[in-house]
A = this chain, B = another copy of it.
């Protein structure tokens, strides 16, 4: 046997970087293998040796996005107030999305038509919710949140955060609105809606 896996790592990174750049500046339509390869100074075949196919390349971006996302989520600590913690996670979510909108678009909206996330990537995405689940569980234990299935509260929180960010990135929100303030306010109202003390049960 001879020459097992050389796989130019520099080229791999260059392709991924350029792919993200194309995605963010000109959208998914502009992400073509020929242009990508040409911009990176190589040929389309290199992409196939390095990644396998275009969906596989997108899958690499997908995991990259969720890795950054996971580290941001983990960096949000837990304090004394579960409601504040929940709001903090939501704010981190939005910051993450605004920091890499093009990654967000392939992570949560199917921006690249043929792409399906690999099982490993899907598992990584699922694991991203763990900090949220932990915060919810802590809030239930401390009696702050209603004693329901933690998954339900976590998904509810994920839903409002994801929905608001999607609407913002899609340009569906009315102009002139202070998005940041409205966002935080909505998150707080949502968290308080799950609060047990306010409703006396």
Contacts and interface: CB of A to CB of B under 8 A. Distances in A.
Interface of A: 27-29, 105, 108-111, 113-114, 125-126, 146, 148-149, 151-153, 155-156, 158-164, 166-167, 170, 172-174, 177, 182, 185-186, 188-195, 198-199
Contact of A114 (B29, B110, B151, B199): B29
**Interface SS majority for chain A:** helix
Contacts of A186: 152, 155-156, 159
A148 to B, nearest CB: 7
B158 A163 contact: yes
A68 to B, nearest CB: 18
A194 B159 CA distance: 17
Count chain B CB atoms within 10 A of each CB in A27, A146, A167 and give the residue with the most: A167
A182 B199 contact: no
Contacts of A174: 126, 151, 155
A199 B148 CA distance: 21
- Most B CB contacts (10 A, CB to CB) among A27, A156, A189, A193 go to A189
Contacts of A105: 110
Contact of A182 (B29, B156, B192): B156
A27 B193 CA distance: 37
Contact of A110 (B111, B158, B164, B192): B111
Given A110-B111, A186-B156, A151 B177 contact: yes
Contacts of A111: 110, 113
B166 A108 contact: yes
30 contacts: A28-B113, A105-B110, A109-B110, A125-B172, A146-B189, A151-B174, A151-B177, A151-B182, A152-B177, A152-B182, A155-B164, A155-B173, A155-B182, A156-B160, A156-B186, A156-B189, A156-B190, A158-B163, A159-B161, A159-B163, A159-B167, A160-B163, A161-B163, A162-B163, A162-B166, A162-B167, A163-B166, A189-B190, A190-B193, A198-B199
